[in-house]
Amino acid sequence: MDLLDDTVPGIGTYEDFNTIDWVREKSKDRDRHREIANKSKQSTVALLFSISDAFSGWLLMLLIGLMSGALAGGIDIAAHWMTDLKEGVCLNGFWFNHEHCCWASNETTFQERDKCPQWKSWAELMVGVSEGPGLYVVNYFMYVCWALLFAFLAVILVRAFAPYACGSGIPEIKTILSGFIIRGYLGKWTLIIKTITLVLAVSSGLSLGKEGPLVHVACCCANILCHFFTKYRRNEAKKREVLSAASAVGVSVAFGAPIGGVLFSLEEVSYYFPLKTLWRSFFAALVAAFTLRSINPFGNSRLVLFYVEFHTPWHLLELIPFVLLGIFGGLWGAFFIRANIAWCRLRKNTSLGHYPVLEVVVVTLLTALLAFPIEYTKMSSSELISELFNDCGLLDSSKLCGYTSNSGSTSGSVNATAANGLGARLAGPGLYTAMWQLALALVLKMVFTVVTFGMKVPSGLFIPSMAVGAIAGRLLGVCMEQLAIRHHERDIFRGWCSPGADCITPGLYAMVGAAACLGGVTRMTVSLVVIMFELTGGLEYIVPLMAAAMTSKWVADALGRESIYEAHIRLNGYPFLEAKEEFRHKTLATDVMRPRRGDPPVSVLTESGMTVEEVERLIADTTYSGFPVVISQQSPRLVGFVLRRDLVISLENARRHQEGVVSMSPILFTECDPPMSPSAPPAVKLRSILDLSPFTVTVHTAMEIVVDIFRKLGLRQCLKSHLIELIIKKKVNIEEHYWNL
């Protein structure tokens, strides 16, 4: 009787920092499903169980959507409040942010909606100063103090409770989805700490975004919820299907773009994306988006992060500046990746990495000191992007809309009569100020984002990249606009800015620039365009967006093959088989096999004839993650393959629970028992943990085919027919050797 079956706890699980065996996991799931389906015919209870099992996936998706949407709403509200807390507090109740505080106030008009007596800046509150340089200095000081406090708390919490909570999360999730195990990366402590520290990090004014961390948060929710469903708890492959869906949820709540979220998951994060996951991801993303909307963090019952309200047409020749923005985006992407990776390498290899808390505090100090004086760096990046995307309406009093009116007055507000004349769109002093401030903000943001991404706090880079692009786009858009106005009599600009006709919309340029820069860094393609499409709600601007996105990707790809996430994967040394890897020379499997010439021969087990002691010694002497099993030393025909971990667990279990097992007990991998003398100790039968159908390739198999097999079928190891040699998938790279096998 075989005492070692699947109910031995530990069999079938994996070591930390190992890859899973997709084929085995899928077989387990198919067997389970077949068993349930066959039993369901026997009784009504079994039938109901089978139906509930089929729907458990949908219930899980619903729960993930609800939990992620709720968390994202909470994060948004808290971050908004704490960001405003750096500047002042509401007398009606300290838990109100600035906008909420002034809502109820009757003295506000739309223009002045942020000014109300209930909101007191710190200077006014603490010192009683209400004007003059003292006001400025005290506010400056308080702003920097709050920023330092938030950042300090964030990094302390991360270091103390959940070191995995730092960074973006997307590179590690990509690796996990490709089959790697990182225990604790998606656990409950990581979730709690990541949520809290994300709010703190965003509020501290650092140049980082929420999107990557929101994907991490959603995946943590998914991982935790999986524990309540048998179907997903024990099966690593099914769990990864759920995690794919959770990545879609993360992007969906970050932007309010469910379709874009699903495509992001498909394009950037998922390794295996069965079509079944597509439908469920979409469902979960929608649930999350609507949960977020009901929580209503933006106070405007809108779903999208940046709502674009204009629909003015664009002119064909504007494609030239749009392509220029695309080139800028590609250059920014290539520059950012190289600079950031160099900085992270510096952090890893020098003493800079030994003082993470100090690093965070110093960077926050510098960011806050340099950000406060300039309006455009003081506001949060999301607000900045919203303002840059905005088209200047008649009532806009911001400096960005500081055009001169027809009568020559330089007031900020543009009155109705002025809008008819061309002079209304000539840049006034307000606009000039805004321009050089934006240019300064551009440089600061670029530098700070390079230094911030990768610190030991949660940090995303979607919003910072979009901010860089939006600033560049708006600058270019205003330049184009002024050019068109001053030279409107030339052929090339005819019809662009005639009186009464729509002129150039700088907000559109900001949007295109944001898309180009984001694409250059992440190399997103379809998901980027779809997210922007969902943000703007119409197909009018698809062509400029596509042109910029394509140009940006081509330029960035020409300068460097990897996106930021792949670069970080490589920096951290994760075993990720990239789909795009090409081999320069026609490499064969025989070139990468182990053992190589000069290495000792591969350790094998025989089907019968080995004792427990011999096997235990072999396990202790080697570090291989698995062993081939052959018929005998003389006839090395392959029977199967057995994993080290399963062997260790089975032998321990046999020693503990099976009667009469001693070091001299024979180990059998055969199907039928060979005849044994009655005085011999009872055998340990291990056929159940033997993989009887390992994959084999011939020596002449080209390396690309081997990589294809590994990637498409999800293998861990692949054996060579006729002789026992192994290719183990940890890092299949012809220049580098493998890790511990």
The total number of residues shown for the chain amounts to 741
Q: Which range of residues in 133-141, 271-279, 437-445, 610-618 is near a copy of itself by CB under 8 A?
A: 271-279
Nearer to a copy of itself, 283 or 372 (CB): 283
Q: Which stretch binds a copy of itself (CB under 8 A): 161-169, 379-387, 389-397, 529-537?
A: 529-537
Record the tokens describing residue 507, joined without a space.
Answer: 């907000």
Buried b (16+ CB within 10 A) or exposed e, 500-536: eeebbbbbbbbbbbbbbbbbbbbbbbebbbbbbbbbb
- Applying CB under 8 A, among 585, 601, 656, 679 the residue interacting with a copy of itself is 585
DSSP H/E element including 90: strand 88-90
Name residues contacting a copy of itself, limited to 710-729 (CB under 8 A). Answer: 712-713, 721-722
Q: Which of 77, 225, 266, 503 binds a copy of itself (CB under 8 A)?
A: 266
Q: What angle do CA 361, 367, 372 make, to 5 degrees?
A: 125
Using CB under 8 A, which of the segments 188-196, 234-242, 328-336, 687-695 binds a copy of itself? 687-695
Member of 529, 555, 592, 728 binding a copy of itself (CB under 8 A): 529
Per the CB < 8 A criterion, the answer to whether 538 and 312 are in contact is: no
Q: How far is the CB of 245 from a copy of itself (least distance, A)?
A: 12
Q: Which of 637, 657, 663, 737 binds a copy of itself (CB under 8 A)?
A: 637
Nearer to a copy of itself, 38 or 417 (CB): 38
- Bridge partners, 88 (sequence order): 121
| Nearer of residues 489 and 582 to a copy of itself, judged by Cβ | 582
Return the range that interacts with a copy of itself (CB under 8 A); candidates 114-122, 169-177, 567-575, 689-697: 689-697
474 in Cβ contact with 511 (< 8 Å): no
Instruction: Give min distance, CB of 650 to a copy of itself, in A.
Output: 19
E strands, 502-656, are 605-606, 610-611, 626-630, 638-643
x-marked contacts with a copy of itself along 9-48 as a string, rule CB under 8 A: --------------x--xx--xx-xx--xx----------
Phi, psi (rounded to 5 degrees) for 119? -90, 120
Among 525, 658, 670, 733, binds a copy of itself (CB under 8 A): 525
Q: What is the DSSP string of 204-225?
A: TT-S-BSHHHHHHHHHHHHHHH
Asked if 125 interacts with a copy of itself (CB under 8 A), we say no
Distance separating alpha carbons of residues 335 and 446, to the nearest angstrom:
10
Residue 279's nearest CA partner among 258, 257, 251, 254 is 258
Interaction of residue 113 with a copy of itself, rule CB under 8 A: no
For residue 624, give the nearest of 607, 598, 605, 606 by alpha carbon: 605
Kindly state the smallest distance separating residue 278's Cβ from a copy of itself, in Å.
Answer: 5
d(CA 569, CA 546): 28
The verdict on 700 binding a copy of itself (CB under 8 A) reads yes
Which has the closest alpha carbon to 202: 236, 153, 133, 272? 153
Q: Is residue 5 involved in binding a copy of itself (CB under 8 A)? A: no
Q: What is the H or E stretch that residue 251 is in?
A: helix 236-255
Binders of a copy of itself among residues 201 to 260 (CB under 8 A) are: 258-259
Ranges within 538-557 binding a copy of itself (CB under 8 A): 538-539, 542-543, 546, 550
Q: Are 241 and 209 in contact (CB under 8 A)?
A: no
Nearer to a copy of itself, 26 or 486 (CB): 26
Q: Is 441 one of the binding residues for a copy of itself (CB under 8 A)?
A: no
Q: What are phi and psi of 86, to 5 degrees?
A: -65, -25
| Residue nearer to a copy of itself on the CB measure, 27 or 733 | 27
- Mark 94-132 as b/e (b = at least 16 C-beta within 10 Å): eebbbebbbeeeeeeeeeeeeebebbbbbbbeeeebeee
* Residue 130 vs 696, nearer CB to a copy of itself: 696
The verdict on 733 binding a copy of itself (CB under 8 A) reads no
278 binds a copy of itself (CB under 8 A): yes
Name which of 395 and 713 has its Cβ closer to a copy of itself: 713
Helix 236-255 to helix 170-177 angle, to the nearest 10 degrees?
150
641: three-class secondary structure by DSSP: strand
Choose one: 153-161, 411-419, 537-545, 725-733; the region binding a copy of itself (CB under 8 A): 537-545
Residues that bind a copy of itself (CB under 8 A): 23, 26-27, 30-31, 33-34, 37-38, 258-259, 262, 266-267, 274-275, 278-279, 282-283, 286, 289-290, 303, 525-526, 529-530, 533-534, 537-539, 542-543, 546, 550, 579, 582-586, 637-638, 640, 692-698, 700-702, 704-705, 708-709, 712-713, 721-722
